[in-house]
Amino acid sequence: MKALAGDRRARLRAMLADLKMPGALEAVDGILAQADSGAVTASEAIEELLSAQILLRNNRRLQAAMRSSRLPAVKTLDQFDFSFQPSIKRDQIESLHELGFLERAENVILLGPPGVGKTHLAISLAIAAAESGRKVYYGTLAALIDSLTEARAAGNLSRRLRVLTHPALLVVDEIGYLPISQDGAVLFFQLINARHERASTVLTSNKGFEEWGGVLGDEIMAAALIDRLLHHCHIVNIRGNSYRMRAHQDLLRTAQERRRGEVEPS
C-alpha cells in the first residue's frame, strides 16, 4: 500500500511539473501528509494545492510589476505612522487605497513640506495598484522630463508619451524640488494632457498650487496644467513634522545618551 501511495505521489508530482505549477509542486508533499493524517479533507487539500500555486503566481506578478514600475523602495500603508501626522485624514487615505479613484481615472495630489510622508503614501498607492494587477510607473518630475527630452531628440516623443500613458497609475514625485525649464514644462503638460481622463496620476509637491507658475516658469502653462489635474482630483494636504528630521533627532539623542554613558564615572 505504501508503495502504491508513493507511486501515486510521484505521478502527481510529475503531473504538476508537466503543468508548470511550481507553487503547487513545492507544497504538495505537506498537503498530502495532512490529507493522509485526516487533518484535511480531499476538497480542502485540492483547495490548498491550488491556493499555493495562485499565491506563487501573484507574488511573481507583483515582483515583475515592481521591477518594471521603477519604484525606489517598498513603502506600504501599514508602515505609515498616522500618529506622527495628525493633519492627515486617515479615512481619506484608507479610502484611496481601495483604488476606486483608478477605476474613475481620477488623480491624487499630495502637498506638504519635505519629509512629511508624501512619497511614502504615493508609493504605497502604487504598490496597492500593482497588487491588484494594474500596471504602475514611478518617476521624479526631473527624471520624467529628461526621459521625454531624450525621446524627442531621438524622434520618439509620441511613442514615449504612449508608453507613459499606458500605466493605470503614474507617480510623479518631487514637483518643485528642482527648477524646470519652460521647454520641460511643455513636455510635462503634454504628458498630463495625454493621461487626462484616461488614467490616474499621483503627484507629490512641496509647493502650493500658487507657486507652480514659478516652478514651471510659466504662469499660463501652470494654470492649464492645474486645471487638467484638478478636474477629477483628490488633494491630500499634509501639515506636520518631518519623518527624516525625527529620525535625525532620534539618532542624535541615541548618540548623546551613548556619550553620557561613556563619561559617567564607574
Cell of 263: 563619561
Give residue-wise pLDDT tens across range 20-40: 999 999 999 999 899 889 999
Task: Classify residue 31: in a domain, yes or no.
Answer: yes
23 plus 90 within the same structural domain: no
Cell of 256: 548623546
Question: How many domains does the chain divide into?
Answer: 2
53 plus 92 within the same structural domain: no
Task: Kindly tell me if the per-residue pLDDT of 18 is higher than 80.
Answer: yes
Task: Kindly tell me if the per-residue pLDDT of 236 is higher than 60.
Answer: yes
Task: Classify residue 171: in a domain, yes or no.
Answer: yes
101 plus 231 within the same structural domain: yes
Task: Classify residue 255: in a domain, yes or no.
Answer: no
Task: Classify residue 65: in a domain, yes or no.
Answer: yes
Q: Other CB atoms closer than 10 Å to residue 27's CB: what's the count?
A: 20
Report the side by side order of strands in the sheet with 233-237. Answer: 136-140, 169-175, 200-205, 107-111, 233-237
In Å, how far are 117, 138, 176, 254 from 142, measured between CA atoms?
A: 20, 12, 10, 36
241 plus 147 within the same structural domain: yes
Give residue-wise pLDDT tens across range 199-210: 999 999 999 999
Closest among 133, 132, 136, 164 to 148, alpha carbons compared? 164
Task: Classify residue 265: in a domain, yes or no.
Answer: no
Rg for the chain (alpha carbons), in Å?
25
Task: Kindly tell me if the per-residue pLDDT of 254 is higher than 60.
Answer: no
Task: Classify residue 239: in a domain, yes or no.
Answer: yes
Domain boundary among the residues 69, 95, 121 is at: 69
pLDDT of residue 229: 96
51 plus 98 within the same structural domain: no
241 plus 171 within the same structural domain: yes
pLDDT top residue among 218 and 124? 124
81 plus 209 within the same structural domain: yes
152 plus 232 within the same structural domain: yes
pLDDT of residue 62: 79
Average pLDDT, the chain: 89
Q: Domain residues for 25?
A: 2-69
Closest among 176, 172, 185, 181 to 211, alpha carbons compared? 176
8 plus 61 within the same structural domain: yes
Closest among 126, 229, 127, 217 to 169, alpha carbons compared? 126
Maximum pairwise Cα distance, the chain: 82
167 plus 224 within the same structural domain: yes
Domain boundary among the residues 69, 88, 120 is at: 69
20 plus 39 within the same structural domain: yes
The enclosing domain of 89 has a CATH number of 3.40.50.300
pLDDT top residue among 245 and 265? 265
Task: Kindly tell me if the per-residue pLDDT of 246 is higher than 50.
Answer: no
Domain boundary among the residues 34, 50, 69 is at: 69
pTM: 0.77
Asked if residue 221 lies in contact with residue 182, where contact means CB atoms within 8 angstroms, the answer is yes
14 plus 57 within the same structural domain: yes
